[in-house]
Amino acid sequence: MTKFLKFTALLLGVTAVVWGATIWRWQATNRLISTNDIVVYLVVLPVLAFAAIALVVWVAAKRRTAAAAATPAASGGAQAAPTLPPQEPGHALILESSVALSVGADASTVLATLAEGKTQPELDDELRDDQGFPLLAGRVKSVDLSATEDVLTPLLPLLAAKQPQWQGLRPSIGLTRALALLADPLAAVVETCSRHWAAIAEAGSTAADGRQPQRPAPGLALVWGLPAAWSEHEQALARMWVAHLLKQSSLPQDGWQLSVEPMDSAEAHLLKVDQQLARWQQELRPGLLMALACDSMLDEQRVEALARQSMLNTPNNAKGCVPGEGAAAALLATPDWPGLDPSDPSLTRLHRMAMTRRDKSADAPGRIDPAMLTRACTDAVDYARLPAVEYSALVTDVDLRASRSTELSESAMASLPDTDPVDQSYRLGLACGDIGQARGLCCLALAAAQVQAEKKPVLVMTVMHPHDRLAVALTPLPEPPPAA
């Protein structure tokens, strides 16, 4: 219908211009008008002009589509995922993952709730629209803010001493809630990381005593994609908060490769993780990587910003997003990390990530082309070297919006035709709303739990961002032989 109206408006505009120019020309030259003139100049000429313009528009659109398919790029300061062959024996191993969401504080509970498909965001007790009506929101009901506030309070004067212009600033409720949600997942990951780091430190001292050949020094990294909506003061406070918690652990205090910076999308965050793991493998260097993500959109400023952009779900705008909140943490290791058994069934293999970028925003009117998401899914499946029929489920951040659901369904049917995009998908956004920067890593953690439960491959697909698209395959261990 939209396309028909556009063509009708173009036809009327071309006709008006041709008629106006023709009549002006006739009047200026005092031309004696015949029936043949009327047919040629007022009927045939407008039709030919319209056809020529329509042809030019169609050719230009085809060229833009071809260019977007050929050179997709990632946002948020990260580059598009290169088309690389899958590495042997695989890209990374997931040693630990944990989530905190409105529908559960552990992955198994969240998966069970999503499988039922009956839980949706509820009307919030605090958030209101412009008319005073409550908004739908994916709020975590029981969040202990006091522990997080106790950590942040003594950090504020230390931060103000470094940056006097921040004197008197207080953290927003969105930041405090996000950090509070991240605290437990972070603690679980730090504990597992400390155990594996202690084991390699002991093995390293033994090797030194026996004068065995030394391997490259193991890497230790933390990648945390901060929400771009956080102010510079909040970003600095978050860095101090995580540094304070790491100092209380048994992990080394130096030698970290830290990447704690704002990113424009959850996809850019996951791509940063993928790039660090790939860099270690190219260096033949074992490494442990902690990936963190948290966000809370249940903040008046965030909600008002969505409303100004007409992106907030209200009774008058069903196409808007539902604000939510969540957090996730994961511990990843290169396959050559000492002491790990590549066939250990308690581990999950994470393959290379495939990221693309849409040319047209998914929030724009008109039909949504699934080509970019389909390409990402196809590449991710190719990286895993397993036939599409092996996949048992999809984990995605999709919500109730028809544009995202349609794009997901069409891409899933194209890349995994044997997997039902409705009955075999876990849709995080349907139950939790838009959890912002946390959605990508939450999907990754849920997929890892699903792989452990079913011992079958799972594909993660992210579609909530207006432009960025990402897909990645997770497979159980030990893996079946690659398809011929």
Model confidence pLDDT, tens digit, residues 295-330: 999 988 999 999 998 899 988 888 889 999 999 999
Classify residue 365 as exposed, middle or buried by CB count within 10 Å of its CB (0-12, 13-18, 19+).
exposed
CA pair distance 316, 306, nearest whole angstrom: 14
CB count within 10 Å of CB 88 equals: 10
Distance CA 151, CA 148 (A): 5
What pLDDT, on a 0 to 100 scale, did the predictor assign at position 77?
A: 36
Where on the phi/psi map is residue 372: left (φ > 0), alpha (ψ -120 to 50), or beta?
A: alpha
Beta strands in 233-316 (DSSP E): 257-263, 287-296
Of the candidates 229, 244, 236, the residue with the CA atom closest to the CA atom of residue 260? 236
| pLDDT given for residue 237 in this prediction | 97
Query: Can you give the pLDDT at residue 69?
Result: 43
Instruction: Name residue, tokens 């196409």.
Output: 319
* Burial of 116: CB neighbours in 10 Å, binned 0-12, 13-18, 19+: exposed
Pair type for strands 257-263 and 287-296: unpaired
Q: Which residues does the chain have with pLDDT short of 70? A: 1-7, 10, 30, 40, 57-90, 201-215, 479-484
pLDDT attached to residue 334 = 94
Q: Whole-angstrom Cα distance, residue 426 to residue 385?
A: 23
Round to whole Å and give the CA distance between 254 and 269. Answer: 23
Handedness of CA 112, 116, 117, 119 (dihedral sign): negative
The answer to whether 379 touches 429, Cβ cutoff 8 Å, is: no
Per CATH, the architecture of 92-476 is what?
3-Layer(aba) Sandwich (3.40)
| H-run or E-run covering 331 | strand 325-333
> What token pair was written down for 175?
């930041």
| Six-digit token string for 176 | 């405090």
Q: What is the mean pLDDT of the chain?
A: 86
**pLDDT of 89:** 43
Amino acid at 322: V
Write out the E strands in 80-233.
92-101, 122-128, 134-137, 219-227
| pLDDT tens string 155-186 | 999 999 999 999 999 999 999 999 999 999 99
Element (H, E) at 394: strand 393-396
> What does each C-alpha distance from 415 to 4, 7, 100, 190, 368 come to in angstroms?
31, 34, 30, 36, 17
pLDDT, tens only, 172-230: 999 999 999 999 999 999 999 999 998 776 665 544 444 555 667 899 999 999 999 99
Could you tell me the residue ranges of all domains in the chain?
2-70, 92-476
